Amino acid sequence: MTQDELKKAVAHAAIEHVPSGIIGVGTGSTANHFIAALAAIKGRIDGAVASSIATAERLQMIGIPVLDLNSVGEMEVYVDGADEITRHMAMIKGGGGALTREKIVAACAKKFICIADDSKLVDVMGKFPLPVEVIPMARSFVARQLVKLGGNPVLREGFTTDNGNVILDVHGMNIVDPVAMETEINQIVGVVTVGLFARRGADVFLMGTQNGVKTLTR
Ligand code: 5RP
Is there a contact between 90 and 125 (Cβ–Cβ < 8 Å)?
A: yes
CB distance 80 to ligand 1 below 6 Å: yes
What order do you get walking across the sheet with 84-85 strand by strand? 84-85, 91-92, 196-197
> In whole numbers, what is the pLDDT of the chain averaged over residues?
97
133 classed as catalytic: no
Burial classification of residue 94, based on how many CB atoms lie within 10 Å of its CB (0-12 exposed, 13-18 middle, 19 or more buried): buried
Q: CA 198, 53, 197 angle in degrees (round to 5)?
A: 0
Share of residues in the chain with pLDDT > 70 (%): 100
For residue range 144-166, what is the model confidence (pLDDT) as tens digits?
Answer: 999 999 999 999 999 999 999 99
Mean pLDDT confidence for 24-34: 98
Is there a contact between 109 and 73 (Cβ–Cβ < 8 Å)?
A: no
What residues form DSSP beta bridges with 6? Answer: none
Share of residues in the chain with pLDDT > 90 (%): 99
Mean pLDDT confidence for 129-136: 98
Options 5, 84, 102, 157, the catalytic residue: 102
pLDDT higher than threshold 90 for residue 95:
yes
- Which atom of ligand 1 has the smallest separation from the CA of 116? 10
pTM: 0.97
